[in-house]
Amino acid sequence: MKNKKFSQIDASVPTIRRLPSYLNVIRRALNNNLKVISGTVIASELELEPIQVRKDLAVTGIVGKPRVGYDVKELKNAIESFLNWDKQHKAIVVGTGNLGTALIGYPGFKQNGMNIVCAFDSSVDKIGKQILGVEVYGLKDLKDKLKNEKIDIAILTVPSEVAQQVTELLIETGVKSIWNFTNEKLKVPEDVLVLREDLSSSYAVLSVCQ
Amino acid sequence: MKNKKFSQIDASVPTIRRLPSYLNVIRRALNNNLKVISGTVIASELELEPIQVRKDLAVTGIVGKPRVGYDVKELKNAIESFLNWDKQHKAIVVGTGNLGTALIGYPGFKQNGMNIVCAFDSSVDKIGKQILGVEVYGLKDLKDKLKNEKIDIAILTVPSEVAQQVTELLIETGVKSIWNFTNEKLKVPEDVLVLREDLSSSYAVLSVCQ
DNA sequence: TTAAAATAGATATAAATATATCTTAATTTA
DNA sequence: TAAATTAAGATATATTTATATCTATTTTAA
Ligand SMILES: NC(=O)c1ccc[n+]([C@@H]2O[C@H](COP(=O)([O-])OP(=O)(O)OC[C@H]3O[C@@H](n4cnc5c(N)ncnc54)[C@H](O)[C@@H]3O)[C@@H](O)[C@H]2O)c1
Ligand SMILES: NC(=O)c1ccc[n+]([C@@H]2O[C@H](COP(=O)([O-])OP(=O)(O)OC[C@H]3O[C@@H](n4cnc5c(N)ncnc54)[C@H](O)[C@@H]3O)[C@@H](O)[C@H]2O)c1
C-alpha cells in the first residue's frame, strides 16, 4: 500500500530527511564567515558520500561551481526555501505531559519556522495555565480555538489509549497534518498526513544491533 | 560509507523498525485472548502489505500455519526474543533537561527491557536530586559510577553544543551504544554505535509534504 | 600558457527494499 | 469426502535508493 502523500515531491523521503543536517553544517559555515562550501566538505563532516550530498542538494535547485563548491548563503536559502522553513508554520501541541512539555520548550522548532501557538490538554490541572509562554486550553475548546486560526501541524503527545479518539476530533476541526508521538497507528482519511515518531522502533534497532 | 554496525543481523533496519508495531498489535491480541493471528490481519491493522508482514516476521524464526496464522503467544515471544526485549538492558540518561526528564518518565521503555539505572547532569540544581526515582549524578562522577556497572545504552540529551565532548567522556568510560537526541553529528570510533533520533528531519518531511 | 587537480553535473550501475506470483498446507463447507 | 478458500512460505520481479563512472568546468601552479 503505497502512501501517495509522501511522494508528491520530486525528492525522496531519505533525501528530505538528510537536508536538515546539511543545513546545520551550512549554517555553521556561515557563522564562520565562509563564502563557499563544497559537497565534499559537507560529506566528510557528516560521514556521507560526496555523490549523495551533491544529488541531495540538487533537488533544491542550487547550482554550484566546479572546483569551488556552492555559495554558502545561496545554499542556505535554497535548502530553507525547499523545506519551507523560510515560511511560518502554525502548530499546536495536544497533550501537555512530559513529552509535550519538552517539545514546547524546544527552541529549535521556532528557528525553522514552526510556531507553537497554543496547547490542549484534558486535565484540569493544566488547563488555563501556561507552559513557557504557551497557553493550555481544554480539549473541548479545540474547535472553537481553531475556528479562526488555520493550523498547519498538530503535535500529538496524549496517552496512546486516547490517541485515536483525539485524532478524530483534530480531523473534525480541519487538521491535515499530525505529528504522532504516540505508539498508536492512527486511522485517518486519505487527505490527512500522519508522521509517526516511533521511539520504540529506534530502541529496537539499538537492542538488536548492540 | 557503509555502516557495518547496522548490518550484522540478517534483518534489514526497516524490518527491525517495523517489528515493534507488530508487537503492539500482537500484545493487544493476547490481551483479547486471541490464540492465533494471521499476517493478513496484522497488515490490515497497520495498513501494510501482508507479504511484507510475513517476510518481516520470518526473520524471528516464527513458523505459522497456512490458512490459520501464527500462534499469538509464540509470535510475541519470537519477536521479543529477536529484539532482545526479553533481556534486561541498563541505560543512563545524560542531560536531565526537558527531553531527558520526559524519557526518564516514559514507562514504555521498562516494558521492553530498558532500565534507566541513573542519570547525569552538569547543573548543580539537578545533581543529587531524583527524577521519578532516578538519581541524578554529576557528570564528573560518570567514570566512577560506571566502573562497576556495565551500561548498555547511553541516552544523550545534553545541549547540542556539548554533545561531542560529553560523547568522548562516555566513550572513555566504555560506553558502546549511544542514543543521540541532539542535533550534533557525533564522531565516534568504529566500535561505538550511534543511533540518531533526529526530530528536525521528521519536521522537514512534514514541512515539505504538507 | 598549459597541464594538473578538484568538483559539479549527467549518466549508468549496483545494492537494498518492497511487491508480485506461485506452490503447498490447513480448514471449511457443500 | 472433495472442492473451494485462505494463508504461509518460497521464488521471482519491480521499485527505490545509493554509488560509481564519465564529462565538463574552474582554479591553481608549474
Ligand atoms: N515521554 C516519552 O519519552 C515518550 C517516549 C515515547 C513515546 N511517548 C508517547 O508520547 C505520549 C505522551 O507521553 P508522555 O510521557 O508525555 O505522557 P504523559 O502522561 O506525561 O502526558 C500525557 C498528557 O496527555 C493529557 N491527556 C490525557 N488524555 C487526554 C485527552 N483525551 N486529550 C488531551 N490531553 C489528554 C494528560 O493530561 C497529560 O498531560 C504517549 O502516547 C507516549 O506513549 C512518550
Ligand atoms: N526538547 C525537545 O523536544 C528536543 C527536540 C529535539 C532535539 N532536542 C535536543 O535534545 C537535547 C536536549 O534538549 P532539552 O530540551 O532537554 O534541553 P535542556 O536545556 O532542557 O536540557 C539540557 C540538560 O543538559 C544539561 N547539561 C548541560 N551541559 C551538560 C554537560 N556538559 N553534561 C551533562 N549535562 C549537561 C543541562 O543542565 C540540562 O539539564 C538538545 O541537544 C536538543 O537539541 C530536544
D3 C1' to B8 CA distance, Å:
47
The length of chain B in residues reads 210
Laid out side by side, the sheet with B177-180 consists of B130-131, B134-138, B114-121, B89-94, B153-156, B177-180, B193-196
Cα(A44)–Cα(B86) distance, rounded to whole angstroms? Answer: 39
D28 C1' to A70 CA distance, Å:
19
Q: Which long-range contacts (CB under 8 A, 24 or more apart) does A72-77 make?
A: A72/A26, A72/A29, A72/A30, A72/A34, A72/A35, A72/A36, A72/A37, A73/A30, A75/A26, A75/A37, A76/A23, A76/A26, A76/A27, A76/A30
CA of A210 to the centre of ligand 2 (A): 25
Q: How many CB atoms lie within 10 A of CB A32?
A: 8
Question: CB A210 to CB B193 under 8 A?
Answer: yes
**Mean pLDDT of the region B101-124:** 97
Low-confidence residues of chain A, pLDDT below 50? 1-4, 6-8
Pocket of ligand 1 from Cβ distances under 6 Å? A 94-100, 120-123, 126, 139, 157-160, 162, 166, 181-183, 199; B 102-103, 105-106, 108
Q: Which residues of B154-179 are buried (b: 16+ CB within 10 A; e: fewer)?
A: bbbbbeeebbeebbebbbeeebbbbb
pLDDT at B185: 96
Question: What is the per-residue pLDDT across B44-60, written as a single tens digit (0 to 9) for each?
Answer: 999 999 999 999 999 99
Residue B147 φ/ψ, nearest 5 degrees = -60, -45
Chain A, nearest residue to B45 by Cα:
A185
3-state secondary structure of B184: coil
Q: How close is the nearest chain A Cα to the Cα of B65, in Å?
A: 24
> Residue A98 CA: which ligand 1 atom is closest?
16
H-type helices in B59-146, by residue range?
Answer: 72-82, 98-104, 108-111, 142-146
pLDDT at A1: 33
Look-up of cell digits 486519505: A190
Report the mean per-residue pLDDT for chain A.
94
Q: Identify all chain A residues contacting B108, using CB atoms and an 8 Å cutoff.
A: 183, 199-200
Of A183, A180, A178, the closest CA to residue A203 belongs to A183
CA of B100 to the centre of ligand 2 (A): 7
Q: Is the CB of A2 under 7 A from strand C?
A: yes
Question: What is the per-residue pLDDT across A97-108, written as a single tens digit (0 to 9) for each?
Answer: 999 999 999 999
**Mean pLDDT of the region B4-24:** 82
C11 C1' to A11 CA distance, Å:
18
The nucleotide closest to B68 (CA, C1' atoms): D7
Residue B74 φ/ψ, nearest 5 degrees = -65, -40
Residue A59 φ/ψ, nearest 5 degrees = -65, -20
**Ligand with an atom nearest the CA of residue B197:** 2
- Residue to mutate, B125, B155, B157, ligand 2, most ligand atoms under 8 Å from C-beta: B157
Question: CB A99 to CB B106 under 8 A?
Answer: yes
8 Å CB contact between A182 and A158: yes
What is the model's pTM?
A: 0.96
Q: Is the pLDDT of residue B5 over 80?
A: no
Question: What is the per-residue pLDDT across A14-43, written as a single tens digit (0 to 9) for each?
Answer: 999 999 999 999 999 999 999 999 999 999
Question: Which of A17, A185, A195 is closest, CB to CB, to B45?
Answer: A185
Q: Identify all chain A residues contacting B177, using CB atoms and an 8 Å cutoff.
A: 206, 209-210
Chain A, nearest residue to B179 by Cα:
A206
Cα(A177)–Cα(A164) distance, rounded to whole angstroms? Answer: 14
Q: Is the CB of A9 under 7 A from strand C?
A: no
Q: How many CB atoms lie within 10 A of CB B123?
A: 12
Question: CB B17 to CB A201 under 8 A?
Answer: yes
Report the residue of A98, A104, A178, A182 to disrupt the B interface, i.e. the one with the largest count of B CBs within 10 Å.
A98
pLDDT at A4: 39
CA angle B122, B127, B132 (to 5 degrees): 120
**Mean pLDDT of the region B82-100:** 98
Amino acid letter for position A61: G
D24 C1' to A43 CA distance, Å:
22
Pocket of ligand 2 from Cβ distances under 6 Å? A 102-103, 105-106, 108; B 94-100, 120-123, 126, 139, 157-160, 162, 166, 181-183, 199
Higher pLDDT, B138 or B7: B138
Q: Is the pLDDT of residue B2 over 50?
A: no
